[in-house]
């Protein structure tokens, strides 16, 4: 699929950003993952301990090499090749009271049932049947269980000789097998059953293989020499990084003056009674100091990365067809998780579906249906993770990310106009109270031109939306590919057609909402339409609404009519809004989307004195009545809601009869204001004249257009009642609440 290809291309193009640790989200080299480390150990080339420190939380993010299995591990099982926790790295873990199962090296006893970890029995059987070694074949024919089969193999003291020479059961030696030989035999078996016993490998076994391979490196060999001494914890205790009592690591530091390590890993129990992480759960990273070598930190050394990548890709043996590059290369069964965040277990490509009907029929095994190369998979997932961390929008389980394949910055389709403009002068221009539609258009042009220069036309913009219906699987819900000029044009069109006077968010310092001309964000629109729902349902609907609005921005379509209608209905019910500025915010957003949906009618943001559609005029009438009454109330220091505000809901349903009520109730206020009401009376007359005869008399329900008339007229009246507005806002003191993002 194209999006996969695009991610692959993006990774290749952005190769310079690999491992740029300064950014909050960085592009990982393939075959690596990130982990937070607590302890740094420094050794020299010969493998001697020099010193160690505790790593502070800010500096703890480390890039570590990982195998396919270790990258996807959940509980303590498969070790990482180089940097890992004490239970993997320290040979003396159990001696110092470590409580978890150690994986430093294979135990010197026979296999226990849960130790062998053969995931896919069919692969194990396949390996046994295709193995050419006579001993293995003869033993296999005895039809033992896998556990008994393997245990009988490791109990043979001359197993190494028999495997090399290809003799059978007859040549089994009668010697009693020693614990050391058991360990060696276990390592041999891991070699023989490469695929099925992949998860049984231990830390020292893997590190030994790597350091002795042709891709090995002095620094890796130094680390191996050091850990083979099995003194990691005792060295850490001697250098006062870890703390022990009677040669057992202390679980919890009860007094004051906690040492550094206990601040990060406090130990003890949490309020559910579970054990919290303690000092034996520390994650180690290495520094190898060699004279004349500039980079001594192994996690930053690009040569170490390359050494691991080469070793890892050479040691995997399944070759097959990669569906992304079309070449014959090493393929992978396991794909990385942690795409949307570090705790995310969902995978884009999963292939272990055994109960669903996803590929059975023509295909018996998932590899037949689809195979992806190991390198390609790593590149794609690495690029996606980086992009989501850098510029993705996460909304619950939904994620939207847009990027240019060249890696350039692109304007944010997800933000409202105020937050979109990142230039101070542009923001000023649109928030100034004297701005008009023309000045807004100019500002928008300036903004877009800035990007047109940066993104030349050959650039491709990809927009991808991901969501998961069930935990564990991620699916693509939205995918578009546009040229950069198309993309910029769509963004411009959106901000033009959906622009209106907005008052979004409440600035507690200035004691009023931020006002600007522009478009609202998709999230703002969704909240306006469905913000009154509670709980789970609200999240689901808001998510679904955002998903429907985004194509309007990116494809240039109209906002769906049901969202417009929903917003209009909510806004007409003015009394339901507690805070005045919240209602103003909703009003601005609703007007903007109404305008966008009916763009062909050409609504203008300033008052249209000659528009004589029924709904527009009724809206204007309401604004005039509202203005008159609120001025009268202000003059007499009363802080009530105006009649117009209270009756707005009814007005939208039965305009004619409600207008009668409103107009009659205006008489006392007109009397109070005396000559001041002259202007308002004139306006009412003017509007009445514009009505076509039958329109006014009809009591039919009003559409959202009346809100546009209302808003424009109200704005037009503003200079006369500017003080009124700020008074009303001040009386409704509220805490900040920002919707537009």
Binding site for other proteins (CB under 8 A): 1-2, 4-5, 320-321, 323-326, 347-351, 353, 355-359, 362-364, 366, 368-372, 467-470, 473-479, 547, 551, 555
Q: How far apart are CA 162 and CA 185, in angstroms?
A: 11
Q: How far apart are CA 131 and CA 148, in angstroms?
A: 18
Kindly tell me which of 46 and 362 has the beta carbon lying closer to other proteins: 362
State the nearest-atom distance from the C-beta of 118 to other proteins, in Å. Answer: 22
Kindly tell me which of 180 and 355 has the beta carbon lying closer to other proteins: 355
State the nearest-atom distance from the C-beta of 330 to other proteins, in Å. Answer: 15
Q: How far apart are CA 272 and CA 251, in angstroms?
A: 18
Q: Are 649 and 575 in contact (CB under 8 A)?
A: yes
State the nearest-atom distance from the C-beta of 4 to other proteins, in Å. Answer: 6
State the nearest-atom distance from the C-beta of 726 to other proteins, in Å. Answer: 46
Q: How far apart are CA 82 and CA 285, in angstroms?
A: 8
Written as one string, the DSSP assignment of 257-300 is S--HHHHHS--SB-TTSPBPP-GGGPBEEEEEE-TT-S--BGGG
Q: What torsion do the CA atoms of 113, 114, 120, 125 make, to the nearest 10 degrees? A: -20
State the nearest-atom distance from the C-beta of 75 to other proteins, in Å. Answer: 23
Q: Are 356 and 470 in contact (CB under 8 A)?
A: no
**What element of type H or E holds 617?**
helix 614-635
Kindly tell me which of 355 and 694 has the beta carbon lying closer to other proteins: 355
State the nearest-atom distance from the C-beta of 366 to other proteins, in Å. Answer: 5
Q: What torsion do the CA atoms of 81, 87, 92, 96 make, to the nearest 10 degrees? A: 160
Kindly tell me which of 147 and 477 has the beta carbon lying closer to other proteins: 477
Kindly tell me which of 19 and 320 has the beta carbon lying closer to other proteins: 320
Kindly tell me which of 326 and 433 has the beta carbon lying closer to other proteins: 326
The 3-state DSSP class for residue 578 equals coil
Q: Are 236 and 58 in contact (CB under 8 A)?
A: no
State the nearest-atom distance from the C-beta of 344 to other proteins, in Å. Answer: 15
Q: Are 248 and 97 in contact (CB under 8 A)?
A: yes
Q: CA nearest 570: which of 590, 548, 598?
A: 590
Q: CA nearest 290: which of 43, 41, 39?
A: 43
Q: How far apart are CA 463 and CA 465, in angstroms?
A: 7
- From residue 338, alpha-carbon distances to 24, 36, 263, 403 in Å are 16, 14, 27, 20
Kindly tell me which of 326 and 343 has the beta carbon lying closer to other proteins: 326
Q: What angle, 0 to 180 degrees and rounded to 10, lies between the N-to-C axes of helices 218-228 and 302-315?
A: 80
Kindly tell me which of 371 and 724 has the beta carbon lying closer to other proteins: 371
Residues linked to residue 629 through DSSP beta bridges, in sequence order? none
Kindly tell me which of 202 and 378 has the beta carbon lying closer to other proteins: 378
Q: What angle, 0 to 180 degrees and rounded to 10, lies between the N-to-C axes of helices 705-717 and 580-597?
A: 120
State the nearest-atom distance from the C-beta of 470 to other proteins, in Å. Answer: 5
Kindly tell me which of 123 and 677 has the beta carbon lying closer to other proteins: 123
For residue 139, give both structure tokens.
Answer: 């033993």
State the nearest-atom distance from the C-beta of 245 to other proteins, in Å. Answer: 51
The 3-state DSSP class for residue 422 equals coil
State the nearest-atom distance from the C-beta of 158 to other proteins, in Å. Answer: 40
Q: What torsion do the CA atoms of 700, 704, 709, 712 make, to the nearest 10 degrees? A: 160
Kindly tell me which of 14 and 348 has the beta carbon lying closer to other proteins: 348
Q: Are 713 and 481 in contact (CB under 8 A)?
A: no
Kindly tell me which of 84 and 547 has the beta carbon lying closer to other proteins: 547
Number of Cβ within a 10 Å radius of residue 688 = 11
State the nearest-atom distance from the C-beta of 377 to other proteins, in Å. Answer: 10
State the nearest-atom distance from the C-beta of 551 to other proteins, in Å. Answer: 8
Residues linked to residue 641 through DSSP beta bridges, in sequence order? none
């Amino acid at each position: 699929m194209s999006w996969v290809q695009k991610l692959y291309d993006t990774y290749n193009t952005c190769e310079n950003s690999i491992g740029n640790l300064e950014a909050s989200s960085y592009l990982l080299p393939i075959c690596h993952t990130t982990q937070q480390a607590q302890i740094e150990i420094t050794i020299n080339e010969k493998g001697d301990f020099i010193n160690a420190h505790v790593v502070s939380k800010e500096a703890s993010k480390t890039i570590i090499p990982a195998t396919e299995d270790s990258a996807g591990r959940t509980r303590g099982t498969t070790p990482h090749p180089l940097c890992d926790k004490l239970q993997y790295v320290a040979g003396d873990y159990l001696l110092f009271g470590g409580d978890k199962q150690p994986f430093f090296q294979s135990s010197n006893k026979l296999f226990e049932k849960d130790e062998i970890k053969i995931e896919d029995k069919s692969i194990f059987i396949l390996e046994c049947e295709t193995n050419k070694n006579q001993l293995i074949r003869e033993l296999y024919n005895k039809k033992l269980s896998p556990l008994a089969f393997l245990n009988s193999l490791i109990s043979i003291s001359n197993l190494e000789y028999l495997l090399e020479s290809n003799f059978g059961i007859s040549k089994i030696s009668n010697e009693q097998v020693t614990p050391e030989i058991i360990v060696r035999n276990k390592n041999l078996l891991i070699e023989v059953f490469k695929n099925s016993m992949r998860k049984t490998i231990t830390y020292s076994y893997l590190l030994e293989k790597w350091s002795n391979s042709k891709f090995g490196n002095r620094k890796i060999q130094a680390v191996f020499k050091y850990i083979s001494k099995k003194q990691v914890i005792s060295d850490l205790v001697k250098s006062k990084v870890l703390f022990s009592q009677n040669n057992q690591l202390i679980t919890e530091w009860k007094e004051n003056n906690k040492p550094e390590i206990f601040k990060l890993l406090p130990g003890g129990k949490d309020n559910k009674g579970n054990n919290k992480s303690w000092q034996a759960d520390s994650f180690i990273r290495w520094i190898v100091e060699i004279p004349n070598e500039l980079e001594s930190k192994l996690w930053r050394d690009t040569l170490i990365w390359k050494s691991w990548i080469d070793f890892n890709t050479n040691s995997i043996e399944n070759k097959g067809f990669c569906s992304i590059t079309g070449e014959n290369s090493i393929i992978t069964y396991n794909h990385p998780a942690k795409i949307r965040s570090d705790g995310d277990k969902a995978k884009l490509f999963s292939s272990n579906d055994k109960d669903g009907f996803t590929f059975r029929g023509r295909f018996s095994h998932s590899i037949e249906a689809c195979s992806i190369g190991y390198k390609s998979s790593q590149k794609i997932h690495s690029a996606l993770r980086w992009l989501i961390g850098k510029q993705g929008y996460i909304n619950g389980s939904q994620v939207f990310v847009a990027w240019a394949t060249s890696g350039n910055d692109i304007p944010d389709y997800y933000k409202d106009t105020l937050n979109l403009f990142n230039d101070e002068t542009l923001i000023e221009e649109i928030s100034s109270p004297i701005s008009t539609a023309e000045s807004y258009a100019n500002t928008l042009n300036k903004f877009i031109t800035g990007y047109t220069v940066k993104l030349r036309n050959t650039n491709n913009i990809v927009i991808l939306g991901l969501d998961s219906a069930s935990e564990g699987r991620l699916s693509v819900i939205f995918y578009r590919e546009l040229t950069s000029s198309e993309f910029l044009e769509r963004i411009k069109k959106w901000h033009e057609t959906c622009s209106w006077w907005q008052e979004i968010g409440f600035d507690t310092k200035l004691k009023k909402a931020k006002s600007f001309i522009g478009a609202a964000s998709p999230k703002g629109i969704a909240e306006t339409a469905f913000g009154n729902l509670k709980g789970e349902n609200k999240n689901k609907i808001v998510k679904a609404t955002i998903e429907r609005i985004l194509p309007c921005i990116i494809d240039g379509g109209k906002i769906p009519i049901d969202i417009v209608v929903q917003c209009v209905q909510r806004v007409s019910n003015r009394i339901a809004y507690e805070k005045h500025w919240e209602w103003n915010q909703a009003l601005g957003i609703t007007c903007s989307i109404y305008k966008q949906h009916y763009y062909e009618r050409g609504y203008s943001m300033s008052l249209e004195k000659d528009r004589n559609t029924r709904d527009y005029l009724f809206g204007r009438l309401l604004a005039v009545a509202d203005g008159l009454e609120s001025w009268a109330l202000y003059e007499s220091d009363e802080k009530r809601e105006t009649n117009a505000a209270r009756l707005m809901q009814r007005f939208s349903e039965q305009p004619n009869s409600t207008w009668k009520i409103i107009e009659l109730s205006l008489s006392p206020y007109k009397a109070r204001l005396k000559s001041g009401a002259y202007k308002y009376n004139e306006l009412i007359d003017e509007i009445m004249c514009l009505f076509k005869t039958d329109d006014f008399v009809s009591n039919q329900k009003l559409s959202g257009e009346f809100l546009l008339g209302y808003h424009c007229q109200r704005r037009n009246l503003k200079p006369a009642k500017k003080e009124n507005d700020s008074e009303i806002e001040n009386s409704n003191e509220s805490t900040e609440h920002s919707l537009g993002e």
